[in-house]
Structure 1
Amino acid sequence: MQSRLTYILFLLLSVISYGQVNLRVTSDKMVYTTTDVVNLTILLEIEGSDYNNQQTKLRSPDFSKFNLIGTGSVTNGLMDPETNMVIYQSVTRLALEPKQKGKVKIGSFLITFNNKIYKTEPFEILVKEADKKPSVAVNTSKDVYLNMEVEDRDVYQDEPTIAVLKVYSRNMDNLRRVKNIHLPKDNNLDVYPISMAKSEIDPSDYGNMASQVLAIFMIFPNESGYVEVPGASASVSSYAGKNKIVSNKVKINVKKLPEGAPESFKNAVGNFKVSISNVSKEKAEVKKPINVLVKVSGEGNLKNLELPKIAESSDYDVFAPKITSKVTTENTGMKGEILANYLVIPKKAGEISIKTENFAFFDPSKKEYINLGQEVLNVNAFSHDQIMESRTTVEKVNEYTNTFLETVNTPVLKTTSFKVKEKNKFHWNILFVNIAILLALFIVYLLFRNWQKKRRLNKKIEPLEPVGSIAETEEEIRERLKTDVNDYFSYLENLKDKKDYQKFFQIYDELDSEVRSQYFQSSAEDFIDFLENYKGPAIAEQYRSLSQKIQIEKYAPVKSSEAIDMLLQSIVELYSQISK
Structure 2
Amino acid sequence: MQNRIIYILVLLISVISYGQVNLTVTPDKTTYNGKDVVNLSIVLEISGSEYNPQTKLRLPDFSKFNLIGTGSVNNAFMDPETNTVVSQSVTRLALEPKQNGKLKIGSFLITINNKIYKTEPFEILVKDVERKTSVAANTSKDVYLNMEIEDREVYQDQPTVAVLKVYSRNMDNFRKIRNIHLPEQENLDVFPISFAKSEIDPSDNGSMASQILAVFMVFPNEAGYVDIPGVSASLNSYAHKDHLVSNKVKINVKKLPEGSPECFKNAVGNFNVSVANISKEKVEVKKPMNVLVKVTGEGNLKSMELPKIAASPDYEVFAPKITSRVMVGTEGMKGEVLANYLVIPKKAGEITIKTEHFAFFDPLNKEYVDLGEQSLAVNAFSHDQILESRTTVEKVNEYTNTFLETVNTPVLKTTSFKVKEKNKFHWNILFTNIAILLVLFIAYLGFKTWQRKKRSVKETAIPQSIGSIAETEQEIRENLKTDVNDYFSYLENLKDNSDYEKFFQTFEELDREVRKQYSEDASADFGKALEYQNGPAVTEEYRSLIQRVQIEKYAPVKSSDAIDELLIAIVNLYSRISK
Aligned to 2:177: 178
Aligned to 1:193: 192
Contact 1:516-1:522 within 8 A present in 2 as well? no
Contact 1:200-1:212 within 8 A present in 2 as well? yes
Query: Could you say what secondary structure the match of 2:230 adopts?
Result: coil
Deviations along 1:218-237, one digit per CA (max 9) or x if unpaired, are: 11111112211111111111
Report the CA distance between 1:391 and its aligned residue.
1.4
Report the CA distance between 1:410 and its aligned residue.
5.1
Q: 1:84 to 1:259 in 2, by over 3 A?
A: closer
TM-score (ref. length: structure 1): 0.54
Q: 1:75 to 1:49 in 2, by over 3 A?
A: farther
Aligned to 1:213: 212
Aligned to 2:402: 403
C-alpha distance in 2 between matches for 1:483 and 1:379: 72
Report the CA distance between 1:481 and its aligned residue.
7.5
Aligned to 1:164: 163
Within 5 A, what are the aligned runs for 1:12-27?
21=28
Aligned to 1:149: 148
C-alpha distance in 2 between matches for 1:263 and 1:511: 63
Pick the structure with greater CA Rg. Answer: 2
Deviates more, 1:233-242 or 1:280-289: 233-242
Contact 1:183-1:191 within 8 A present in 2 as well? yes
Report the CA distance between 1:161 and its aligned residue.
1.1
C-alpha distance in 1 between matches for 2:550 and 2:153: 50
What amino acid is the match of 1:388?
L
TM-score (ref. length: structure 2): 0.54
Contact 2:139-2:243 within 8 A present in 1 as well? no
Report the CA distance between 1:195 and its aligned residue.
0.5
Aligned to 2:337: 338
Q: Over aligned residue pairs, what C-alpha RMSD do you find? A: 4.9
Aligned to 1:302: 301
What amino acid is the match of 1:199?
S
Q: 1:243 to 1:90 in 2, by over 3 A?
A: same
Report the CA distance between 1:155 and its aligned residue.
1.3
Q: 1:303 to 1:41 in 2, by over 3 A?
A: same
C-alpha distance in 2 between matches for 1:348 and 1:510: 73
Q: 1:378 to 1:386 in 2, by over 3 A?
A: same
Q: 1:222 to 1:353 in 2, by over 3 A?
A: same
Contact 1:74-1:251 within 8 A present in 2 as well? no
Query: Could you say what secondary structure the match of 2:202 adopts?
Result: coil
Report the CA distance between 1:309 and its aligned residue.
0.6
C-alpha distance in 1 between matches for 2:26 and 2:500: 77
C-alpha distance in 2 between matches for 1:348 and 1:271: 37
What amino acid is the match of 2:326?
V
Query: Could you say what secondary structure the match of 2:206 adopts?
Result: helix
Within 5 A, what are the aligned runs for 1:535-546?
none
Query: Could you say what secondary structure the match of 2:141 adopts?
Result: helix
Within 5 A, what are the aligned runs for 1:251-330?
251-330=250-329
Aligned to 2:231: 232
Query: Could you say what secondary structure the match of 2:251 adopts?
Result: strand
Report the CA distance between 1:383 and its aligned residue.
0.6
Report the CA distance between 1:276 and its aligned residue.
0.6
Query: Could you say what secondary structure the match of 1:158 adopts?
Result: coil
Report the CA distance between 1:405 and its aligned residue.
2.3
Contact 1:23-1:43 within 8 A present in 2 as well? no
Deviations along 1:406-441, one digit per CA (max 9) or x if unpaired, are: 22225858xxxxxxxxxxxxxxxxxxxxxxxxxxxx
Within 5 A, what are the aligned runs for 1:508-523?
none
Contact 1:141-1:245 within 8 A present in 2 as well? no
Aligned to 2:109: none
Report the CA distance between 1:386 and its aligned residue.
0.8
Report the CA distance between 1:157 and its aligned residue.
1.1
C-alpha distance in 2 between matches for 1:484 and 1:230: 43
Aligned to 1:36: none
Q: 1:18 to 1:201 in 2, by over 3 A?
A: closer
Q: 1:369 to 1:207 in 2, by over 3 A?
A: same
Q: Is 2:378 the counterpart of 1:371?
A: no
Contact 1:145-1:168 within 8 A present in 2 as well? yes
Report the CA distance between 1:385 and its aligned residue.
0.7
C-alpha distance in 1 between matches for 2:548 and 2:237: 25
Query: Could you say what secondary structure the match of 1:203 adopts?
Result: strand
Contact 1:311-1:357 within 8 A present in 2 as well? yes
Deviations along 1:211-264, one digit per CA (max 9) or x if unpaired, are: 111011111111112211111111111122211111111111112111111111
Deviations along 1:452-499, one digit per CA (max 9) or x if unpaired, are: xxxxxxxxxxxxxxxxxxxxxxxxx99x888999xx9xx9xxxxxxxx
Deviations along 1:57-94, one digit per CA (max 9) or x if unpaired, are: 9xxxxxxxxxxxxxx98844456899997655567899
What amino acid is the match of 1:307?
L
Report the CA distance between 1:332 and its aligned residue.
0.9
Q: 1:119 to 1:317 in 2, by over 3 A?
A: closer
Q: 1:24 to 1:506 in 2, by over 3 A?
A: closer
Structure 2 gaps, min length 5: 1-23, 45-56, 76-87, 106-119, 127-137, 413-493, 509-521, 523-546, 564-579
C-alpha distance in 2 between matches for 1:350 and 1:507: 70
C-alpha distance in 1 between matches for 2:183 and 2:195: 14
What amino acid is the match of 2:229?
P
What amino acid is the match of 1:206?
N
Report the CA distance between 1:47 and its aligned residue.
6.1
Query: Could you say what secondary structure the match of 1:145 adopts?
Result: strand
Q: 1:345 to 1:18 in 2, by over 3 A?
A: closer
C-alpha distance in 1 between matches for 2:557 and 2:206: 33
Equivalences, count: 373
What amino acid is the match of 1:162?
V
Aligned to 2:240: 241
Contact 2:67-2:152 within 8 A present in 1 as well? no
C-alpha distance in 2 between matches for 1:116 and 1:392: 86
Deviations along 1:336-394, one digit per CA (max 9) or x if unpaired, are: 10000011111111111111111111111111111111111111111111111111222
Contact 1:24-1:44 within 8 A present in 2 as well? no
Contact 2:156-2:255 within 8 A present in 1 as well? yes
C-alpha distance in 2 between matches for 1:119 and 1:248: 26
Contact 1:355-1:374 within 8 A present in 2 as well? yes
Structure 1 gaps, min length 5: 1-16, 27-39, 58-71, 95-108, 121-138, 414-476, 492-499, 525-580
C-alpha distance in 1 between matches for 2:385 and 2:30: 86
Contact 1:140-1:174 within 8 A present in 2 as well? no
What amino acid is the match of 1:278?
N
C-alpha distance in 2 between matches for 1:507 and 1:304: 41
Aligned to 1:455: none
Contact 2:67-2:93 within 8 A present in 1 as well? no
What amino acid is the match of 2:299?
G
Report the CA distance between 1:112 and its aligned residue.
11
Query: Could you say what secondary structure the match of 2:292 adopts?
Result: strand
C-alpha distance in 1 between matches for 2:32 and 2:371: 54
Contact 1:182-1:233 within 8 A present in 2 as well? yes
Contact 1:155-1:253 within 8 A present in 2 as well? yes
Query: Could you say what secondary structure the match of 1:304 adopts?
Result: coil
C-alpha distance in 1 between matches for 2:121 and 2:291: 70
C-alpha distance in 2 between matches for 1:252 and 1:389: 66
Query: Could you say what secondary structure the match of 1:309 adopts?
Result: coil
C-alpha distance in 2 between matches for 1:245 and 1:81: 46
Contact 1:362-1:368 within 8 A present in 2 as well? yes
Q: 1:140 to 1:304 in 2, by over 3 A?
A: closer
C-alpha distance in 2 between matches for 1:395 and 1:521: 71
Q: 1:195 to 1:111 in 2, by over 3 A?
A: closer
